Chain A
């Protein structure tokens, strides 16, 4: 194949970055796949092919529960984040006339501050002697602290729904902003009320934004480590915490690798279902 000057220069400019990402993603993921079929013997790894790690992951209820809980929590986080964020994206796209950039910037600022510190702050908010409880006690609303705020999967869901906010608002905002305003005027002209034109025009047209937001929230959430570790307790522990244990204290890297890859396969499957579901909703609205 002969390439013209433009294509050759493009290839030259693109190659270093592509190679860098490829080397630091494909090679390590390949190694991880290989590891997941090996066996840990004390400090050494035996390189004989075996399905044993995967059998353990799916046979042991502990691991199975962790993976399914991670997917369930990720799905709940995605749903909650999108539900909470959609009206804000809508507000910025349709109600805010000037200062749109300012609103978007305001929404993204918290995202750029340390994730670790934000999660940590949620721990302070929800703790037994923390912000919510001490404030309610001080105000006399309750007599004894509520001890169910922290260390469960609900705490994880709330914390992550907070952390992912801009990732939901921005794609949805973009899809709403792209909607040709004359469609809405046409709907109004045809006697549709504002709510009906929202359901029949705006919502279906913003589904691509919802899909984008869901993917960018759902997949990384399954692998989240900090939030379950700080606010999840044993009820809210997720698969990443167990992976860390396998690579740390338990020192069983092949099992850790198998856990990680099983989680990736499950999340990919679930993500496909999620996209399919949203596309069906999109079709039924149209």
Chain B
């Protein structure tokens, strides 16, 4: 026991340094890609040989990439809208209403988060081929909406959970119908949450690989395209340049989503 105490108390003092190191560990892989993307060598290692932007330049020549990008954008935008709409509806129900099977519904819609993706992928594949709709971008959209619903639900239940019910009653009390209260008060107040949910589900769908791999058929999304490229060593520098761009875009989206999330908090919290 005394040994344990001694060891733990030493760890306790090193905690801040460890936390910083850990953050470094988290960021190492996503910082390496941009670093190598500007390196003037096909060999991805040290020492770095020189600065170049040619890998970015040659991206423009790959037409398959732009098809894949278009596919990914379609899938991500539609999935984000579908998942956010469905997520917003049920979040409102969960936070503001008592109804039969409420807990079961809540658990069920969060289930895609903990299911191994490969299971979702193959069972959807079986069904889509079984009922004869094949695999297209449409099936990827169905799957991505399913996958992103849990993220939307957790964002929107928190937005509705912090929403003061008296705001809607106040609107009705001041002469609005319940539809008017929804339009003039509820939606504007939770809109930062809705925007943040849209951005997050867009990001998740845009980066998702397994479901798209099984379900996209002949219309690859960007991650599926990247997967097909990483097998060719000659293509690696291009892939890394593309990957760096994607990471940049994801981070930009996230920063915007975080801004809206904070605004949502400011809207819904009472001052002390």
Contact = CB atoms under 8 A, between A and B. Distances in A.
A and B in direct contact, judged by CB atoms within 8 A: yes
Interface string B114-139: 11111110111111001000000000
Contacts of A92: 19
Contacts of B19: 87-88, 91-92, 95
Contact of B251 (A6, A12, A84, A109): A109
B26 A112 contact: no
A14 B105 contact: yes
Given A11-B97, A114-B247, 11 more contacts: A18-B90, A20-B86, A24-B142, A31-B130, A87-B15, A117-B243, A118-B30, A195-B8, A215-B114, A223-B119, A226-B209
Contacts of A114: 207, 209, 223, 243, 246-247, 250
Interface in A88-135: 88, 90-92, 95, 101, 105-107, 109-110, 112-118, 120-122, 124-125, 127, 129-131, 133-135
Interface stretch (B42-50, B57-65, B187-195): B42-50
B113 A216 contact: yes
Interface of A: 1, 3, 6-14, 16-18, 20-22, 24-25, 27-29, 31-32, 35, 84-85, 87-88, 90-92, 95, 101, 105-107, 109-110, 112-118, 120-122, 124-125, 127, 129-131, 133-135, 138, 162, 165, 193-196, 198-199, 215-216, 219-226, 230, 240, 243-244, 247, 253, 256-257, 260, 263-264, 267
6 tightest A-B contacts by CB? A223-B116, A10-B97, A134-B45, A28-B123, A10-B99, A121-B29
Given A21-B149, A219-B116, A117 B227 contact: no
A92 B61 CA distance: 46
Contact of B114 (A133, A220, A247): A220
B91 to A, nearest CB: 9
Interface residues of B, number: 88
B32 A121 contact: yes
Interface of B: 4-5, 8-9, 11-12, 15-16, 18-19, 22-23, 25-30, 32-33, 36, 43-47, 86-87, 89-90, 92-94, 96-102, 105, 108-109, 111-120, 122-127, 130, 142-143, 145-146, 149, 153, 200, 203-204, 207, 209-210, 213-214, 223, 226-227, 230, 239, 243, 246-247, 250-251, 253-254, 258, 262
